[in-house]
Amino acid sequence: SDDAELLWRLARASRDLAQLSSTSAEEKRQLAYEALEYAKKALEKNESNFAAHKWYAICLSDVGDFEGIKTKIGNAIVIKEHFQRAIELNPKDATTIHLIGIWCYSFAEMPWYQRKIAATLFATPPTSTFQEALRYFHMAEEADPNFYSKNLLFLGKTYLKLNNKKMALLWLSKAKEYPAHTEEDKQV
pLDDT tens digit at each of 188 positions of the chain: 469 999 999 999 999 999 988 999 999 999 999 999 999 999 999 999 999 999 999 999 999 999 988 888 889 999 999 999 999 999 999 999 999 999 999 999 998 888 888 888 887 888 899 999 999 999 999 999 999 999 999 999 999 999 999 999 999 999 999 887 766 666 66
**Residues 6 or more apart in contact with residue 120 via CB below 8 angstroms:** none
Distance CA 15, CA 66 (A): 14
Residue 126 falls inside a structural domain: yes
102 and 138 in a common domain: yes
Q: Is residue 83 part of a domain?
A: no
Calpha distance 2→41 (Å, rounded): 8
Same domain, 114 and 40: no
For residues 188 and 97, membership in a common domain is answered with yes
Q: How far apart are CA 33 and CA 30, in angstroms?
A: 5
In total, how many domains does the chain have?
Answer: 2
Closest CA to 83 of 59, 119, 108: 59
The boundaries of the domain holding residue 110 are 93-188
Among the candidates 32, 67, 102, a domain finishes at: 67
Q: Are residues 97 and 185 in the same domain?
A: yes
Q: Is 45 exposed, middle or buried (0-12, 13-18, 19+ CB in 10 A)?
A: middle
Q: Is residue 77 part of a domain?
A: no
Looking at the fold, whether 100 and 60 belong to one and the same domain comes out as no
Specify if 76 maps to a domain.
no
CATH of the domain at 102: 1.25.40.10
The set of residues, in sequence order, having a beta carbon less than 8 Å from that of 38 and lying 6+ positions away, is: 7, 8, 10, 11, 14, 55, 59
Residues 45 and 99 in one domain: no
Contact 175, 152 (CB under 8 A): yes
Residue 38 lies in a domain: yes
Per the domain annotation, does 87 fall within a domain? Answer: no
128 occurs within a structural domain: yes
Could you tell me the end-to-end alpha-carbon distance of the chain, in angstroms, rounded to an integer?
37
63 and 121 part of one domain: no
Would 34 be classed as within a structural domain?
A: yes
Cα 109 vs. chain centroid, distance in angstroms?
15
Residues 100 and 170 in one domain: yes
